[in-house]
Structure 1
Amino acid sequence: MSVQRSWVIGAADCYNKNNVGLLIRKTACTLKPDVIISVDGDIIKIRSESTFKNHDTIFKLNEEFDEVTADGRKTKTTVTLDDGVLVQHQKWNGKESKINREAKDDQMVTTCIIGDIKAVRIFTKKN
């Protein structure tokens, strides 16, 4: 899996049109998290580390699991690997979101989509 490594944030367009509360949205836009993606057998772990909060998502591909997101949402989540892209599908309270993580050269492009709203964060490979 080509996204398996440590990444640091490089650029982002923020979640300005999102249905996220103002305080959380402003905080999210200022965070500069490191993201570490690791694999141990069939278990994948995505760890986000920042000065504000650390968060782990641990899962097996193609298996639905209960996730508590970094912003506190309780979702039913399934993660798949589609043509080298790690695709995270989240469902909660009649809503859905999708997070795509794709490695391109020394970058990981993370695209978060909720309805017709899209936010992109570009991470660079950490040495």
Structure 2
Amino acid sequence: MSALYDRIYSLASTRGMSIPEVAKKAGLSSAIIYRWRTNDANPTKPSLIAVATALGVSEDELVGKKEVDPQEELASQVGALFRSVVKQQDLDEDHSKDLKEEMEDLLKVRARRLKAKQDAKN
């Protein structure tokens, strides 16, 4: 199994995406990505860029030349969770905006509490 495929799979999984979903978002067939797994095909630069874009990472992060920033990774996971909930609940645009605002408020409150806890430790 190729390191590139493993990285794509890992990044997709943390974003709540499957390989076919990544491929579709990148404008590729899932078969080509699966061929990268077995080294039956080599990705082209445009394909790598498309997959990186679909996953919300740089090309360097995708191919392992640069580590994925943990905060950016967390933000991506939160975004994936939000999209998943909106999709599962079939929320319209107005209710999606309401949910986003509520999530932002909740995260701000929780972040302030954690910051206070952190400051108290120091």
Q: What TM bracket, shorter-length normalisation?
A: under 0.3
Higher strand share: 1
Higher helix share: 2
Given the two structures, how large is their TM-score scaled by the length of structure 1? 0.23
Larger Rg: 2
Given the two structures, how large is their TM-score scaled by the length of structure 2? 0.24
